[in-house]
Amino acid sequence: MVTLTIDGRTVTVPEGATVLDAARWLGLRIPTLCHVQGLEPAASCFVCAVRVEGRRTLQPSCALQVEPGMVVHTDTEEVRAIRRLALELLLSDHAGDCAAPCATACPAGLQIPEFLAHLAGGDARSALDSIWRHLALPGALGRICPRLCEQECRRREHDDGLAIGPLHRFATDRALSEPEPVLPPQAPQSGRWVAIVGAGPAGLSAAFYLLQAGHRVTLFDAKPLPGGMLRYGIPAFRLPKDALDAEIEVIRALGASFRMNAEWGSDFTLAELRSNYDAVFIATGAQHAQALRCEGEEFALSGVEFLEAVAGGSAPDLGREVLVLGGGNTAIDCARTAVRLGARSVRVLYRRTEREMPCLLSEAEQARAEGVQFEFLTAPVRLESLGRHHLILSCRRMTLGPPDSSGRPRPVPLDGSEFSIPASTVIAAIGQTVDRTVAEHSGLRVTTWGIAADPGTLATNLPGVFAGGDCMLGADLAVRAVAAGRVAAHSIGQYLRGEPLIPEPSLATVLLHPIDDDERAAIFRNIERAPRVPLPEIPMERRLSTFDEVETGLQPEQVPREAARCLSCGCGKSHSCGVRALATEYEADPNRFAGARRRWATDESHPEIIYEPGKCILCEACVRIAADAGEPLGLAPIGRGFETAVGVPFSRPLSEALLTSARRCAQACPTAALRLR
Ligand code: SF4
Ligand code: SF4
Ligand code: SF4
Ligand code: FES
């Protein structure tokens, strides 16, 4: 017997045992990938590395025999760093998608292939249940989200990206139009009560998840109705109020109470909320319109105030010639609203070029189709009022200079280029900021952009107070605010249970990008081209004269066909892959050594298993298992250097190599290189 010390504990094990065996005897966990119990060690992955006192280098514990008096350390900073490095090297040439590219692009992490599979099978209700697990307000977001997911859809390499946003909108509209109320499951009441300041996208989303977790919620908001920017900042032709109301009704039915017309700082204080509630989430958004910062700025209408007035039913009289200053979505919404209010000419003035406009390209195209004109490289200098609906805007032509702090080219005025434009109304939609005054007076720490909060947990400097969404980082996409609401609910849940605040883990992820022609041909070899469904729209004359929703949503018969175009990208072992799990645990950066990588390919010649050589980490577990099983042909590392991969000798098919041990090999394979069908 041999006695040694591991992490300060003494253990006695039989001679010939490995340090890994001894650690396991003590109940200590050392990670492994290439180790297969009962077979000769390959010692190829090095994630089981440990430090042995008196030895110059770290040693693989799976291949290291115990010696009397050995002193071993299994979890030091040095050991963790070498494991991280080993994992980064293993992932550096990995050819595969750990997750669907669309899902990794969605800021809320929606499990897109999962809900699309339900829709392809005609089950909108199950699709909505799947969507709700990650995303609140999917009907509203299906209408207004810029669909970052669709831009990354793998199908774009073949024909068109999936209509993901319209599909989750459909699932929501369909399920919520059922006569019976549709609600997500709810945990038993916790007896804890959370105050949410702001009933916009972040606040509603936090309420949605807190209520499901069994907590009580009261939302406070300065406006008469909940919805925040979704109600007051997005025109009805993009997001109809009844669609928004239907989703807010779900949150109300889960038990939310709303205290509307209640302004933080004048109607209640943070100190009161902290003493009356168990936790507070601040989600007040970024609603402070930026001033024009030129002479006569007081004669311009603020874009957000204009949209709010229209949403509240008191649209101002704009006159015939409207100028909108700005290049974001609010500017485009203002311009399209002005068209519907009867302005004869609507022009958007932007100081950079079309390429730099922060608005969605599709929104600008819609505006153009409705008759909105654009003037680029134009900036205001002075606004004069000569009477009601009689304004003169002096402008200057700009040119683009070197990039500024935002990374975009800085607009530089051209000397002697001043000119003036008459207008009945000038709308300034050049951005929104966070009003930090009340937060600061309430004892919250603030930054240049908003309320300071931990990016992972959204905890502020005050215990039990969390902040997220636009009020933390400034005006941003609604989907990011909705995602922040779920993060807040997660952290607040931990806080209410008295647990340490730990952010939801973000899984290490490799994506197959870019793909080359051979890979494209292999991925799409059995996929027929099928263009994306067209999105139905109302006729132009109705668009120009009403606030009716422009995109009317997919027809039921379009949905299964469109959803079935999804390729269910991602990895067959995404939740059981050992490399991914360890890379997440050790915070390995899969892209640290990214460079040349293996080619993506599949071998589907075996009736039981699928082989993806691009995901092989050459651990040789399968090689040893096949040999142990007495396979006549078996597997072997084939090729040289970077091109080495496990394969079948003599170029025989996989079905001949693994006659009896295929299942065992797939189960032992630490990645999805070998997996069961
Ligand atoms: S919320 Fe936006 S990014 Fe996420 S799936 Fe929906 S459309 Fe795509
Ligand atoms: S084909 Fe489906 S799973 Fe793949 S990226 Fe597109 S939507 Fe996502
Ligand atoms: S295919 Fe074989 S050698 Fe490659 S990772 Fe899987 S078990 Fe290891
Ligand atoms: S080197 Fe020990 S498990 Fe891979």
Q: 90-106: per-residue pLDDT in tens?
A: 999 899 999 999 999 99
- Whether residue 638 has pLDDT greater than 70: yes
pLDDT in tens, 512-552: 988 999 999 999 998 999 999 999 999 999 999 999 999 99
CA nearest ligand 1 atom 3, residue: 106
Answer yes or no: are the C-beta atoms of 660 and 629 closer than 8 Å.
yes
d(Cα 231, Cα 312) in Å, to the nearest integer? 9
Percentage of the chain beyond pLDDT 70 is 100
CA 209 to ligand 1 center in whole angstroms: 18
- Whether residue 650 has pLDDT greater than 70: yes
Q: How confident is the model at residue 642 (pLDDT cuts 50, 70, 90)?
A: low
Q: Please work out whether the CB of residue 58 comes within 6 Å of at least one atom of ligand 4.
A: no
Q: How confident is the model at residue 274 (pLDDT cuts 50, 70, 90)?
A: very high
Across residues 261-267, what is the average pLDDT?
A: 97
CA 32 to ligand 4 center in whole angstroms: 5
Across residues 193-217, what is the average pLDDT?
A: 98
Q: Please work out whether the CB of residue 624 comes within 6 Å of at least one atom of ligand 4.
A: no
Answer yes or no: are the C-beta atoms of 50 and 74 closer than 8 Å.
yes
Mutation to probe ligand 4, out of 59, 62, 618 (largest number of atoms < 8 A from CB): 62
Q: Does 502 or 601 have the greater pLDDT score?
A: 502
CA 569 to ligand 2 center in whole angstroms: 5
- Whether residue 333 has pLDDT greater than 70: yes
Mutation to probe ligand 1, out of 115, 132, 153, 479 (largest number of atoms < 8 A from CB): 479
pLDDT in tens, 554-603: 999 999 999 999 999 999 898 899 999 999 999 999 888 877 888 888 99
pLDDT of residue 465: 98
CA 481 to ligand 1 center in whole angstroms: 12
d(Cα 429, Cα 537) in Å, to the nearest integer? 27
Q: What is the CA radius of gyration of the chain?
A: 30
pLDDT of residue 482: 98
Atom of ligand 1 nearest to the CA of 135: 1
Q: Please work out whether the CB of residue 579 comes within 6 Å of at least one atom of ligand 4.
A: no
Identity of the residue numbered 573: K
Atom of ligand 4 nearest to the CA of 20: 2
Query: First vs last Cα of the chain: how many Å apart?
Result: 45
- Whether residue 45 has pLDDT greater than 90: yes
Atom of ligand 2 nearest to the CA of 152: 5
pLDDT of residue 598: 85
d(Cα 660, Cα 649) in Å, to the nearest integer? 17
Across residues 72-79, what is the average pLDDT?
A: 97
CA 33 to ligand 4 center in whole angstroms: 6
CA 611 to ligand 2 center in whole angstroms: 21
Strands 674-676 and 609-611 turn out to be antiparallel
- Whether residue 631 has pLDDT greater than 80: yes
Q: Please work out whether the CB of residue 135 comes within 6 Å of at least one atom of ligand 3.
A: no
CA nearest ligand 1 atom 2, residue: 147
Domains identified in the chain and CATH numbers: 2-75 (3.10.20.740), 101-182+514-563 (1.10.1060), 193-286+434-496 (3.50.50.60), 301-432 (3.50.50.60), 596-676 (3.30.70.20)
Q: Please work out whether the CB of residue 622 comes within 6 Å of at least one atom of ligand 3.
A: yes
Report the chain's mean pLDDT, rounded to a whole number: 95
Mutation to probe ligand 3, out of 616, 638, 644 (largest number of atoms < 8 A from CB): 616
Answer yes or no: are the C-beta atoms of 85 and 583 closer than 8 Å.
no
Residues with CB under 6 A from ligand 1: 106, 108, 110, 112, 135, 141, 145, 147-149, 164-165, 168, 479
Identity of the residue numbered 577: C
Q: How confident is the model at residue 674 (pLDDT cuts 50, 70, 90)?
A: very high
pLDDT in tens, 592-630: 887 788 888 899 999 999 999 999 999 999 999 999 999
Ligand of minimum distance to the alpha carbon of 654: 3
Atom of ligand 2 nearest to the CA of 570: 3
Q: How confident is the model at residue 394 (pLDDT cuts 50, 70, 90)?
A: very high
Of 16-30, 412-426, 502-516, least confident by mean pLDDT is 502-516
CA nearest ligand 3 atom 7, residue: 669
133 backbone dihedrals φ, ψ, rounded to 5°: -60, -25
pLDDT in tens, 398-421: 999 999 887 889 999 999 999 999
Q: Please work out whether the CB of residue 616 comes within 6 Å of at least one atom of ligand 3.
A: yes
pLDDT in tens, 95-142: 999 999 999 999 999 999 999 999 999 999 999 999 999 999 999 999
Identity of the residue numbered 22: A
